[in-house]
Amino acid sequence: MKKKFIVVLLVLALVFSVLPVFGNRTYADDGDVTWRNPKGITGGVVTSIGVSGDTVYVATDAAIFRSTDCKNWEKLPFTFSEGANTLLISKYFKKGGIFLGTKDGVFLSRDKGNHWQFFNMGLESSYIIGLTEDENGNFYALSFDGLLMKWKKSEELWTTIARFSDPTATAIYATKGKVYVGCERGTVYSVDSDGQNKTVIADDLTESPVSKILFSPSGLLCITTFYDGVFIGNKGDFDHELKGYKINDAVLNDGSLIVATVKNGIFTNNNGRGWSKIAQKDGVIPSAVAVSQNGEILVGTIGNGVFVAKDDSLVKSDYGITSADVTTINFSTNYDSDGTVFVGTKWNGLYVSSDKGKTFQNVSSFPEDIKVTSVYGNSETYFVGTGGEGIFETEDGGKTFTKVNFDSDYINVIFGTGNTIYVGTGDKGMFVSNDGGKTFTEANNGIFKFDTDITAISGVKDAVFIGTNGGDVYETTNGGKTWVQIGAKQIPKYSIADISVSKDFDTDQTLVVGTMGAGLFLSTNGGSTFTNISDALLKYHMWDDGVALSPNFDKDHMILAGSWDGVYLSFDSGNMWTNINGNKDNRYVFKTVFSPDFIYKKSGAIYVATESGGLYIYDQKGRTVVKMVIDQKGMLVNGKFVSTDVPPIIKNNRTLVPIRFVTEAVGADVEWDPATRKVTITLNGDKVELYIGKNTAYVNGIPRKIDPNNPKVVPVIIHNRTYVPIRFIMEAFGATVEWDPKTRTVTIIYGG
């Protein structure tokens, strides 16, 4: 687990995080950036399921979800931590409540998950792995480092009542004035509710850690283990059942014990009368189990969301749960024409989008329980790297896959330039194919002998750069035949997280390197020298796992950086940074990329992957609403007043406006040719050409009448300003134009 740094100068960071202006460029501040989770990517590691009446709550390692029908799920506004380790729906806390145990302590909701508050007063250790309550309304929390803490209602704070240092505690249960704690080596302790009389009640049952402790209505102690089945009985006398089964979770229902096994499905002991299998599905690994109000058995999984046990099978029910453990993001080599985006996950297999990230489909023929680490290719032919199973290739867009003959199973990253494909492995260094992936040969000439864990690759044409887990950066200019180390005395020996090379590297010689602990390093001379570009804000977030240069870096000078505390953006080659987390509720960003068609405020999108929250996308083409009143200076752009020195007018019964005011408000480019008296407007790939005094315009090269019913409606110049018929222009770009005759207001709605 990566160590997170403590932000000391919080006030300074907050000041910088909302700076909206850099030179003559502007960007939305943190509150104005709206991220979305794309449709189609579902799953995540379900850590706990809770049932309250007809409502089901699902905690994942990234977020909390709620449903009343187990089909349509709503993501709850939980923004304090990266998901939950455990969930407790209280029966005894005042008017009820939902408790979450997280890496950052305990949180409470009193209104069915709509709002959350800290519940950490007095908490000695904040990494909570277990929560429980007893019939007397006492609450207990168990921490990762073995502290048992009790909530004292009279003082309204937590106090530590017991410690379990050897072995480490793993499970907790409370009833009838006793707290039971299971440990890593199979031992179970009993502790009085005040912390007294710490007693071993089950010892040497197994070497396996305890996964769950429960008491049956008849008073039998039920102990499940992660690796060696179930133990049922009393002190000193336990029956060992389901020997060798790996069990992640268990629940009691009307006296019957229901257990979720890793490979064998869901079992019940039928109230002690013998075990029988309830349901199983190939490739689905259960992680949590619960019973709904109407008796449905709900099964949370590792990487596949939520299922319902039905007719001896598991039926998918997690529409809307979008918390897949994303590992990589890449774009088709033909992105401009096919719009394909690849997203690999740790547990959910591979997802592919053919509409530039709006929706994704799981490539079902690819094994879902394999960790996808990298993808390279186009919409039809691409290579998939995995963490443990080597490389797979498809030539039919993911319908079928063939395993590639390759000399390593641990693939970290795949990258290509032209017909040359570079593969960085986790154990054997670099491999290169010069025939489009048909054959691969080892390519480690120049790389240090023990520096073979390749973590990053990027390049343009013949200039390709790699980074290693050992903190070194290398360059090749001959297709991987030889590598030369660069930046050895300027980039500290921290693991290289990411490398991004300018699309115009031939001319600007720019690349940037992200490190795990030392910040970002920029070179503008092809790697001869590097400069740390972590400013007063970013230097307190030095764990920069992801970095990306804009596709138009030579014009916009934009750099993205992902850190443990969110995503940051610079408009001036890294001199200053602004935080753009916006509404994104998972802060640990390890991958940041611009889409290939990214043009600032015009087209494309920013993609980020978080440690456990999946994929987030910030679209450039947002909704823009412009309002102008005839004969009044100024206009409203998304509710904000923008000053203008001339007003819109009505001429020949049509509204004419100064062209630059409105078109630039929606992000269009305007060019004026005085020789031909032509105005050219371009927006998101569309182009409109108009001529002063002429009723014919050209939309993407096709001639069109501006107003077939009124030939007098033409562009005009008034007081050195070019006025154009606004309805014709904006509708040509797909916008909506509305007219209110009472207030004489023109409203233009573009995008969204």
Per-residue pLDDT tens for 285-321?
899 999 988 889 999 988 778 899 988 888 887 766 7
Residues 262 and 221 in one domain: yes
Q: Which of 565, 588, 617 is the last residue of a domain?
A: 617
| HEC secondary structure over 28-90 | CCHHHCCCECCECCCCCEEEEEEEECCEEEEEECCCEEEECCCCCCEECCCCCCCCCCEEEEE
User: Going by C-beta distance under 8 Å and a sequence separation of 6 or more, which residues neighbour residue 183?
Assistant: 164, 167, 168, 169, 170, 189, 209, 210
User: Residue 211 is which amino acid?
Assistant: S
Q: Is the pLDDT of residue 17 over 60?
A: no
Report if residue 643 sits inside a domain.
yes
For residues 142 and 187, membership in a common domain is answered with yes
| Coil/strand/helix, residue 554 | helix
Residue pLDDT, tens place only, 515-546: 988 889 999 999 999 999 886 555 555 566 88
The stretch 505-516 carries a mean pLDDT of: 95
Is residue 100 within 8 Å of 110, Cβ to Cβ? no
Nearest residue to 632 (alpha-carbon basis) of 643, 617, 619: 643
523 shares its domain with 594: yes
Rounded Cα distance between 675 and 666, Å, is 27
Report the side by side order of strands in the sheet with 578-579. 544-549, 559-563, 566-570, 578-579
Torsion of the alpha carbons at 379, 385, 387 and 389, rounded to the nearest 10: 100
Average pLDDT over residues 109-124: 91
Angle at 451 (CA atoms; ends 450, 455), nearest 5 degrees: 145
Residues 50 and 156 in one domain: yes
Cβ(299)–Cβ(57) below 8 Å: no
Q: Does 418 map to a domain? A: no
253 and 114 in one domain?
yes
Task: From residue 489, give the alpha-carbon distance in Å to each of 150, 437, 515, 531.
Answer: 52, 35, 15, 11
Which tens digits make up the pLDDT trace of 178-220?
999 999 888 899 999 989 999 998 887 788 999 999 998 888 8
CA distance 553 to 564: 25
User: Mean of the pLDDT values across residues 696-703?
Assistant: 86
Check whether 605 has a pLDDT greater than 80: yes
The pLDDT value given to residue 541: 54
In a domain, 410, yes or no: no
Top pLDDT among 633 and 454 is at: 454
pLDDT grade, residue 3 (50/70/90)? very low
Q: What is the mean pLDDT of residues 269-278?
A: 92
- pLDDT at position 544 is 65
Share of the chain above pLDDT 90, in %: 48
Q: Which two tokens stand for residue 18?
A: 């909302």
* Local structure of 271: helix, strand or coil: helix
One-letter amino acid for residue 320 of the chain: G
Whether residues 572 and 630 fall in one domain: no
Say how far residue 20 (Cα) sits from the centre of its chain: 24
403 has pLDDT over 90: yes
Mean pLDDT of 587-605: 88
Residues 6+ apart with CB under 8 A from 308: 70, 296, 297, 298, 299, 314, 315, 317
Give the closest residue to 422 by CA, choosing from 378, 383, 381, 371: 383
How many Å apart are CA 146 and CA 170, to the nearest integer? 8
- Return the ∠ at Cα 394 (arms to 368 and 476), rounded to 5°: 100
**75 with 64: CB under 8 angstroms?**
yes
Q: Look at residue 186 in the predicted model and tell me its pLDDT.
A: 87
pLDDT(18) > 50: no
pLDDT category at 621 given cuts 50, 70, 90 is low
Per DSSP, the three-state class of 664 is: helix
Q: At 14, list the tokens.
A: 């907050």
Q: Quick one: 727 exposed, middle or buried, by C-beta within 10 A (0-12, 13-18, 19+)?
A: buried
Q: Which of 88-97, 237-246, 493-502 shows the lowest mean pLDDT across its residues? A: 88-97
d(CA 231, CA 292): 25
Q: Per-residue pLDDT averaged across 675-699, rounded?
A: 87
Taking only the tens place, the pLDDT of each residue in 314-355 is 888 776 676 677 889 999 999 999 999 999 988 778 999 998
Mean pLDDT rounded to a whole number for the chain:
86
- Which region holds residue 699: left if phi is over 0, alpha if psi is between -120 and 50, else beta? beta
CB 623 within 8 Å of CB 749 = yes
CA distance 332 to 626: 35
Please say if the pLDDT value at position 9 is more than 70. no
Residue 64 lies in a domain: yes
Q: What tokens appear for 502 in the block? A: 């300018």
Q: Point out which residues pair with 498 in neighbouring strands.
A: 514
User: Any idea what the CATH number is for the domain that residue 215 is in?
Assistant: 2.130.10.10
At residue 682, the 3 state secondary structure works out as strand
Q: What is the pLDDT of residues 652-676, one digit of tens each?
A: 888 888 887 777 778 788 888 989 9
Handedness of CA 722, 728, 730, 736 (dihedral sign): positive
Residue 13: predicted pLDDT: 33
Indicate the number of domains in the chain: 3
58 lies in some domain: yes
Q: Helix-strand-coil percent breakdown of the chain, rounded to 5?
A: 5, 45, 50
Q: What is the pLDDT of residue 320?
A: 66
* Domain hosting residue 534, numbered range: 1-32+505-617
DSSP 718: E
Task: Using DSSP, state whether 272 is helix, strand or coil.
Answer: helix
Q: Of the candidates 617, 641, 665, which is a domain's last residue? A: 617
Task: Supply the CATH number for residue 647's domain.
Answer: 3.30.457.10
Per-residue confidence at 7, pLDDT binned at 50, 70, 90? very low
Boundary residue ending a domain (316, 350, 377): 316
Do residues 12 and 63 both lie within one domain? no
Alpha carbon separation from 620 to 99, 182, 735 (Å, rounded)? 37, 51, 16
Q: How high is the pLDDT of residue 241? A: 94
Q: Are residues 559 and 631 in the same domain?
A: no
Q: Is residue 406 part of a domain?
A: no
Does 435 map to a domain? no
Residues 164 and 91 in one domain: yes
Same domain, 9 and 131: no
Q: Domain check: are 722 and 684 in the same one?
A: yes
Q: Do 605 and 650 belong to one domain?
A: no
Sign of the torsion angle spanned by Cα atoms 705, 708, 710, 711: positive
528-533 contact pairs (CB < 8 A, 24+): 528/486, 529/490, 530/487, 530/490, 530/491, 531/490, 533/559, 533/570, 533/573, 533/574, 533/575
C-beta separation of 357 from 375 below 8 A: no
**Does a structural domain hold residue 652?**
yes
CA distance 490 to 696: 60
99 within 8 A of 131, measured Cβ to Cβ: yes
What pLDDT score was predicted for residue 684? 67
